[in-house]
Structure 1
Amino acid sequence: MKALWNSAIGLLLVNGLLLGLTLPFGKMATAAGVPPAIWAFVISFGAGAVLFSALVANGGSIGLDRRKLRYFVVVAAVSYAIPNLLLFASIPHLGVGFTGIMFTMSPLFTLAFSLMLKLRRPSMLGLAGIGVGFVGALVVATTRGEASQPADPIWVAAGLLIPVSLAVGNVYRTVDWPKGSGPIQLAAGSHLAAAVMLLVAAASSAGGSPFAPLADVPWLVVAQVIVSSAMFAVFFRLQAVGGPVYLSQIGYVAAAIGLISGMLFLGESYRLETWLGAVLISIGLVMTTKAQLRAA
């Protein structure tokens, strides 16, 4: 266990596996009638509560002030609430594997936004990687989800907004990270803020008791809270051991887990073009990662 805790590749695989499990869990939850906002709430509240408890147990606190409040609200919206709402709303229409591919595009959009804002100097390899990745994204988008039931273009667009929102969050956390604040402190506050947003969204969009369907899948709720809490604990350890460039490859592992679990356990199937697009996205990701490593 100690060797795994200090291994970048081991932490990457574990983190990607945990993120990948969130995809089939989300499909099972929505199939059981759980609203997307409520399932996203389960993840943010569960992770936020666990991280906050760990923070307090180690003598820490949120240390809320105006600067951190702004940070919590923005990060909660673009990194957690919006992408998770889109994720769990899209999965029933696009499939677990197809939606998982969207995570692989986040590093590409992140690098593109960084170049646009001049946070990173462009290189030919990085620009070429973005180009290849975007071509792959277009190929994937044209296949519109599972082979047996192509999704409406609006759901494909919703799926593509997931990596865009995540990339905006990645850039924002870089430019507005409150000085002197630790990652656990900021993650706990952001997740709890996201939980509040999602609770308001669920209450305003669902009649009756939106939490009622959770009673039908208690084991799934417990499993999701355990997985999401462990995922963020491993996430921060990976950031410390492997750095941000290595960290960006989590989506690649999660997409592979999503595709495999979708086919083996949920009966999903995808067209050859979807696999071709996924390969192109992977090639683009490798190119942009190499460009970032060279720059570092």
Structure 2
Amino acid sequence: MTRLWHSAPGLLLVTGTLLGLTLPLGKIAAAAGISPALWAFVISFGAGAVLLVVLVSRGRGLNLDFATLRYFAITAAVSYAIPNLLLFAAIPHLGAGFSGIMLTLSPLLTLAISLILRLRRPDVLGIAGIAVGFIGAVMVTLTRGEAGQPAEPFWIGVGLLIPVSLAVGNIYRTLHWPKDSGPIQLAAGSHLAAAAMLFAMVVASPDASSFSLLGAVPVLVVAQVAASTAMFAFFFRLQAVGGPVYLSQIGYVAAALGLFAGTVFLGESYRLTTWLGAVVISIGLVMTTRAQSSADVP
């Protein structure tokens, strides 16, 4: 575990895999009648609460100075509440696998923003890997969802907004990481802030009684909370070790897992072009992983 905690490629694979589990679980939740806002609340509240308990058990708590609270609020909105709402709203219309592919556009947007802001530029292999991954994502996007069930342009647009929000969050967290704050502290505080936002949204909506629906799927809720809690602990560590552009590669891993889970377990069907795009994305992941490994060698 200690070695994994210091390995950017290892953290990338673990974090991306745990993120990918959210896609099929989200589709199952939607089929059970759980709204996107409520399921996003489950993720943020569950992860935030468990991580806070871990902190307290270690004799630590959350920093509550103004700068850190601002960080919690902004990160909660652009990294969790908004993209999760969009993701869980889109999954029933695009499929778990196709929705996951939208995550792969985050690296390109993260790189573009980082170059504009003159953050550290990736090397040639890293840039090439991101470009290859993007080509694969375009191939998948053009298929418009499951075979025989082309999605409406509106939902394609909703899906495309997901990586925009994620990219903004990637850059913001790097530029404004609070001093003297660890990854678990930031993950706990940001998710609890997101949970508060989402709770207000659910209560204000006409289907506020949908909280009772969670009792009908306890195993699903526990599985989602466990996966998201572990994922976000590794997520913030990966942010510190790999930086914003490398962090954004988790979308490639999540998309591949989402395609596999959607096809094997949820009965989704995708065109050959979609699968070829997934292969191209995987090649891009290998290239960026090697680039990061080379950068880590002294």
TM-score by length of 1: 0.88
CA shift, 1:285, in A, is 4.7
Report what 1:52 is aligned to: 52
1:161 maps onto 2:186 in alignment: no
CA shift, 1:176, in A, is 1.1
Q: 1:292 to 1:12 in 2, by over 3 A?
A: closer
Q: Which deviates the most, 199-208 or 58-67?
A: 199-208
- Residue 179 of structure 2 aligns to a residue whose secondary structure is coil
CA shift, 1:105, in A, is 2.4
Q: 1:279 to 1:112 in 2, by over 3 A?
A: farther
CA–CA separation in structure 2 for the residues paired with 1:25 and 1:86: 15
CA–CA separation in structure 2 for the residues paired with 1:188 and 1:42: 14
Report what 1:38 is aligned to: 38
- 1:38-66 deviation line (CA, Å, top 9, x unaligned): 00000000000011111111111212121
- Alignment check: 8 A CA contact 2:9 2:292 kept: no
Percent identity reads: 70
CA RMSD of aligned residues (A): 2.7
Report what 1:91 is aligned to: 91
- Residue 40 of structure 1 aligns to a residue whose secondary structure is helix
CA shift, 1:129, in A, is 4.8
Aligned length: 295
- Alignment check: 8 A CA contact 1:112 1:130 kept: no
Q: Which runs of 5+ in 2 are unaligned?
A: none
- Residue 232 of structure 1 aligns to a residue whose secondary structure is helix
Report what 1:111 is aligned to: 111
- 1:146-168 deviation line (CA, Å, top 9, x unaligned): 01211111111111211221111
- Residue 40 of structure 2 aligns to a residue whose secondary structure is helix
Q: 1:121 to 1:219 in 2, by over 3 A?
A: closer
CA–CA separation in structure 1 for the residues paired with 2:289 and 2:68: 31
CA–CA separation in structure 2 for the residues paired with 1:208 and 1:248: 34
Report what 1:26 is aligned to: 26
CA–CA separation in structure 2 for the residues paired with 1:101 and 1:193: 27
Q: 1:287 to 1:147 in 2, by over 3 A?
A: same
CA shift, 1:34, in A, is 0.3
- Alignment check: 8 A CA contact 2:104 2:134 kept: no
Report what 2:242 is aligned to: 243
CA shift, 1:5, in A, is 6.5
- Alignment check: 8 A CA contact 1:107 1:248 kept: yes
CA–CA separation in structure 2 for the residues paired with 1:66 and 1:6: 30
CA–CA separation in structure 2 for the residues paired with 1:6 and 1:119: 22
Q: 1:13 to 1:274 in 2, by over 3 A?
A: same
Letter matched to residue 141 of structure 2: A
Report what 1:79 is aligned to: 79
Report what 1:66 is aligned to: 66
Q: 1:122 to 1:256 in 2, by over 3 A?
A: closer
TM-score by length of 2: 0.87
- 1:198-254 deviation line (CA, Å, top 9, x unaligned): 1112222333513122122111111111121122234455567x6347654432222
CA–CA separation in structure 2 for the residues paired with 1:153 and 1:205: 26
- 1:54-98 deviation line (CA, Å, top 9, x unaligned): 111111121212111211111000110011111111111111111
CA shift, 1:181, in A, is 1.6
- Residue 144 of structure 1 aligns to a residue whose secondary structure is coil
CA shift, 1:197, in A, is 0.8
Within 5 Å, give how 1:223-238 maps onto structure 2: 223-236=223-236
- Residue 165 of structure 1 aligns to a residue whose secondary structure is helix
Q: Which runs of 5+ in 1 are unaligned?
A: none
Within 5 Å, give how 1:140-179 maps onto structure 2: 140-179=140-179
Within 5 Å, give how 1:143-222 maps onto structure 2: 143-222=143-222
Letter matched to residue 81 of structure 2: A
